[in-house]
Amino acid sequence: MRPQDRGLFYVRIQRVETEFENMSRQMTGAKMIVECLKDQGVDTIFGYPGGAVLPIYDEVFQQNAIQHILVRHEQAAVHAAEGYARSTGKPGVVLVTSGPGATNAVTGLTDALLDSIPIVVLTGQVPTFMIGNDAFQEADTVGITRPCTKHNWLVKETAALSETIHEAFHVATTGRPGPVLIDIPKDVQFASAAYTPIKKARVSHYQPPVKGDMASIEELVAAIETAKRPVFYTGGGVINSGPAASQLLRELVEATDFPITSTLMGLGAYPGSGKNWLGMLGMHGLYEANLAMHGCDLMINIGARFDDRITGVVDAFSPGSKKAHIDIDPSSINKVIHADIPIVGDVAHVLEDVLKVWKSRGRKTDKSGLQEWWAKIDDWRSVDCLKFEQVSQVIRPQHALSRLEYLTKDHDRYITTEVGQHQMWAAQYLNFDDPNRWMTSGGLGTMGYGFPASVGVQVAHRDSLVINVAGEASWLMNMQEMGTAVQFKLPVKQFILNNERLGMVRQWQELLHGERYSHSWSEALPDFVKLAEAFGAKGIRVDHADDLDEAIKEMIAYDGPVIMDCLVEKHENCLPMIPSGAPHNEMLLSESSTKDAIGSKGAVFV
C-alpha cells in the first residue's frame, strides 16, 4: 500500500470509529438522564414515582450505581436532598412526577433558595404535544417554580437533555448555591439522541467572579489594623464556600483575636468551643453577641445577608460601625444594610487574600483597644443569658437540650431541627465545632423540614448519630417519613420536645396579643410511642427529669429509628429575645440570667 493510500485508509478508519462511537452513544432520554447523573458523581436520588417519570424509573431499576430513596411525600424528597447536600457539600438530587408531584416540591425549593442549598430537581411533564391542553397531571411547572429556583428549564428535545442537565449542576453549585429544576416531558424521555458528555456542557455563560477586589481587601485590612471594637459576623456563606473557608476563618479569628458571632445558618464555621465565640446573634441570640454587634466600630460580615431576624430595626442596627460585607452574591450587598467596604467574591478566596495582605503588612491590630473591648464583652458574658434552673421534675426544654448536648457531644453527631422554639433552644444549647453538622430551615422557617432532612443526612452518613430536634407540631407535618426511615434501615433519632402547644406562636400570643391563645394549643395528639411501634420503630416516652438521661442513652443505643417523646414545660418562653420593633440593645432576658430581675412572666428587659 502506497504511503498516501495508507493515510487515506487511516482517515476512513477514524471516521468509521467516530460514527460507531456516535451510534453507541445513542440512547433514550430516560437512559441519558441516568448517565448524566452518573457522570456528575451522583450516588443518591430522593424521589417518588408517577406516570410522567416511569421511563426514568425504569432506567433507575436497571442500574446499581445510584441508590434511590423512596420518600412518602415529594416535599420530603426535597428536604431530604437539602439535608444530604448541607451535610456533604454535594448537590442533592430529586426525582418526582408531573402535576402534584412537582407542586408538592415547591416548599422545598423555596426553602433551598432562601438558605442557598444546591439541589437539582428533575420533574416529569406530560408529552410535548399535550402541553397547554390541561392534560391529566399537567401543571406549568416552569412557571410555578421560576420564583423559587436559581434557574429552571423545560426540555422539549432529547438532543438538548444531557447538556441541560450538566448545565443545571453547574448553576446549582456555582456562585451562591441554590436549587434548579429541569422539567422533562414524557416523550422526550422515550425518544433517542446522542449523549453529550459532561466536558461539552455549556458553562462559560455563568462564571461568577470568586476573587475579591484587591483595593477593597486592602481597605478592609487597614480597618482591621485600627479597629478598637471589631466583630466578625458570619453566615451560611462560609459553610457553602467549603472546608477551606472555615479553616481560613478560624486562622483569621485566632490571629487577630477578634470576637466572632454567627447567624443560625453559620453555626459550626467557627468552633462553638472556641475562646472568641460569642454565640449566635439575632432575635434569639445571646446577650453578648447582640450587644457586641450593637456597640462595635468595625463589623466584618462574611457570607451573611443581613436577614431581618438579625438586624431587627434597620435604622438602629449597629449604628456606630463601619461595615464590611463579603459575599459571592452581588445582589446581597447593599440590599438591606449599606456596606462601607463591599467585597464580591467567594469567601475562601477573599479570606485567603485578606490573610496574605494583613500578614504582609505586619499583622497589626489595636491591642489596647481590643483589651478594653474584651473586658466589656466579658461583662456582658457575666450576665449568663442562657442560665436556667431545673428545680422540679417537670422537664424544662433548656434542660433537655443541655443533657442531649452533654450525652452526645463526643459522638460523630449531626443535628437537624424542625422550626419553632425547639429550633432556637437547639441553636443556643448545642455546640458545633465543625461545619456541615447543623441542618435547619433558616430563611423560610419550614415546619416539617427536620425529619426528612435527617433522613437525607443519615443516608449520606450511615454510621453517624443523626438527631432531629423537633416540636410535636412541626414533626407531625412530615411524620409519614417514618416509613422511609424504617424501609431503608436509617437509625435517625427524633428528639421531640412535646409541650402540647405551637410553642413559638403561643409565646408571641402571650407577649404581643394579650395572652389570647388563638388555635395554638395542640389537640388530639397521637401516642408517639405507639405511633413509632406502628411503623416498626422504637418509641420512648419521658416526663420526669430524673429519667431523662437514661431515656437519651436508650435512644442513642438503639440500632434503628427512634421517636423519643420528651414531655416538657408547656408555657416555657424562648429567651433571650429581641422583641419586634426593638434594637439589639433592648433584649428580653430570663429572670435567672440577671440579678436585676423585675416584672412578671419570668422575663425582664435589659
> What residues are annotated to the active site?
74, 136-137, 186, 504
Strand partners, 416: 439, 468
Q: How many angstroms separate the CA atoms of 77 and 84, rounded?
A: 11
- DSSP assignment string, 218-265: HHHHHHHHH-SSEEEEE-HHHHHT-HHHHHHHHHHHHHHT--EEE-GG
Cell of 485: 426511615
Cell of 557: 443505643
Give the number of other Cβ atoms within 10 Å of residue 17's Cβ: 10
Q: CB within 8 A of 472, min separation 6: which ones?
A: 496, 497, 498, 499, 500, 522, 525, 528, 565
- DSSP assignment string, 296-349: -SEEEEES----HHHHSSGGGSSTT-EEEEEES-GGGTTSSS--SEEEES-HHH
Give the number of other Cβ atoms within 10 Å of residue 292's Cβ: 27
Q: How many angstroms separate the CA atoms of 455 and 71, rounded?
A: 9
Question: Are the beta carbons of 245 and 238 closer than 8 angstroms?
Answer: yes
Measured in whole angstroms, the distance separating CA 603 from the mean position of its chain's CA atoms is 31
Question: Are the beta carbons of 188 and 156 closer than 8 angstroms?
Answer: yes
SS3 at position 384: coil
**AA letter at 484:** T
C-alpha separations of 597 from 215, 290, 509 in Å = 49, 20, 22
Cell of 331: 445582589
Q: What values do phi and psi take at 164, rounded to 5?
A: -65, -45
Expressed in angstroms, the distance from the first to the final Cα of the chain is 97
Query: Helix axis angle, 421-429 relative to 503-512, nearest 10°?
Result: 100
Q: How many angstroms separate the CA atoms of 43 and 53, rounded?
A: 19
Q: How many angstroms separate the CA atoms of 23 and 1, rounded?
A: 30
Q: CB within 8 A of 236, min separation 6: which ones?
A: 115, 116, 263, 265, 266, 303, 304, 442
